[in-house]
Amino acid sequence: MLGVAIQGAGNVSTEHIKAYQNNPNTRLVAVGSRTLESARRKAQQLNLDCDLFDDYAKLLQHPEVDVISICTPPDRHAEETIAAAKAGKHLLIEKPVAINKEELCAMHVAVSQAKVKTVVSFVLRWNPLILSIKEVVAKGWVGQPLLVQADYWHGPTNISPRRSHKKSWNPMDIGAIVHGGCHAMDAARYILNNDEIVQVSGVAPTYSVPSHIIKPLTMASVKFANGTIGKISGSTAFFMPYVFNIEVFGDEGVIRNNQFYSKQVPGQRDFGSFPTILPDSGAVSHHPFQETIDHLIDCVLTDTESDDSLTVAVNTHLACFAAEKSATNGSTVVQITEFE
């Protein structure tokens, strides 16, 4: 039985807590937040009987904590991950895991040295549509993948800047392709068997930005190590409901979300479709947190490295950072290396 602590008491922490409660190998022992009031409110909301903390260092000293879910705002992820790794705690880290390359590097070093297990909360890896696409691509339904397109489009949500522990940092400054579009970047890599992105060019419109997100739209052209190219976008600028697209175009077939056209079906004359659960909601309650957290616990118990670990997620984040940098620098092509 593994003891679990939740660091951060916002909306997403609710889904983490429910998933741990449903896992027979975990027991929730602590909730931490920036204030005891917010930690207590979360405990009351979910009828929890556990210790509460407003001091992260003291939470890490809790003798029964084996696993920590980092559910705080992105600017806190790096230092909290590093401290937890040094304390020997296994980690589930909400995305984006960092707000810049320097923080990402420091996290990667700390986790590697501590040899703790990590899973990044790219929960769409467990969405049935994306699992299906990954499987049929592996089975050759599209032949050689030539182009992958993935889009994270979230309608304007009037997000107001949250209180940050870094006074000079606005949580929304990281841009839509980092903040939510990282799901699209990761999904594109995942369906290509975690192939690494080696080249990125970003572009953003000239736009009179409303008050919700500072960098509301970036589109990236990417190239993968295996030669496939991709178009990835993240936006909160469009007036529309939430949409997540994932498409693969190959020399022997095409997959467009849950529609397909393939040489594997020789009598096919038009797109076919298969019923599945689409990633068609931005609500955290719609996402497969249970499968994500069950995966982390299985990795801990079997001493197995995850294919959704922080190490794997490094390339996804570097590509997102590069897209934003390129978009503000004349769409300059950026070559991706792990860490320079």
- Round to whole Å and give the CA distance between 178 and 148: 18
* Tokens 């922490």, residue located: 13
3-state secondary structure 230-260: EEEEEECCCCCCCEEEEEEEECCEEEECCEE
182 and 39 share one domain: no
Do 179 and 303 lie in a common domain?
no
Could you tell me if 217 and 106 lie in one domain?
Answer: no
User: How far does CA 150 lie from the centroid of its chain?
Assistant: 14
Say if residue 206 is in the same domain as residue 273.
Answer: yes
Residue 157 lies inside a defined structural domain of this protein: yes
User: Are residues 320 and 304 part of one domain?
Assistant: no
How far is the C-alpha of 55 from the C-alpha of 61, rounded, in Å? 10
Query: Does a structural domain hold residue 182?
Result: yes
Question: Which CATH number fits the domain that encloses residue 8?
Answer: 3.40.50.720
Q: Rounded distance, CA 300 to CA 91, Å? A: 10
Residues 129, 273 within the same domain = yes
Same domain, 116 and 216: no
Going by their DSSP bridges, the two strands 197-203 and 145-153 should be labelled as: unpaired
Within-domain flag for 197: yes
Q: In CATH, what number is assigned to the domain containing residue 237?
A: 3.30.360.10
137 with 50, same domain: the answer is no
Closest CA to 172 of 106, 317, 75: 75
Structural domains counted in the chain: 2
| 149/254 same-domain check | yes
In a domain, 247, yes or no: yes
The two beta strands, 67-70 and 243-250, are unpaired
Domain residues for the domain of 110 are: 2-122+290-308
Assigned domain for 73 exists: yes
The answer to whether residue 340 sits within a structural domain is no
| 138 and 69 in a common domain | no
Question: Tokens at residue 105, please?
Answer: 């590097």
What sign does the dihedral 266-267-273-275 (CA atoms) show? negative
Residue 330 shares a structural domain with residue 301: no
pLDDT in tens, the chain (340 residues): 999 999 999 999 999 999 999 999 999 999 999 999 999 999 999 999 999 999 999 999 999 999 999 999 999 999 999 999 999 999 999 999 999 999 999 999 999 999 999 999 999 999 999 999 999 999 999 999 999 999 999 987 544 444 455 544 555 567 899 999 999 999 999 999 999 999 999 999 987 665 455 688 999 999 999 999 999 999 988 889 999 999 999 999 999 999 999 999 999 999 999 999 999 988 888 899 999 999 999 999 999 999 999 999 999 999 999 999 999 999 999 999 876 5
Write the secondary structure of 82-101 as one string of H (helix), E (strand) and C (coil).
HHHHHCCCEEEECCCCCCCH
Comparing C-alpha atoms, which of 75, 112, 115 is closest to residue 97? 75
Q: Is the residue at 61 inside a domain?
A: yes
Kindly state whether residues 106 and 164 are assigned to the same domain: no
Residue 165 lies in a domain: yes
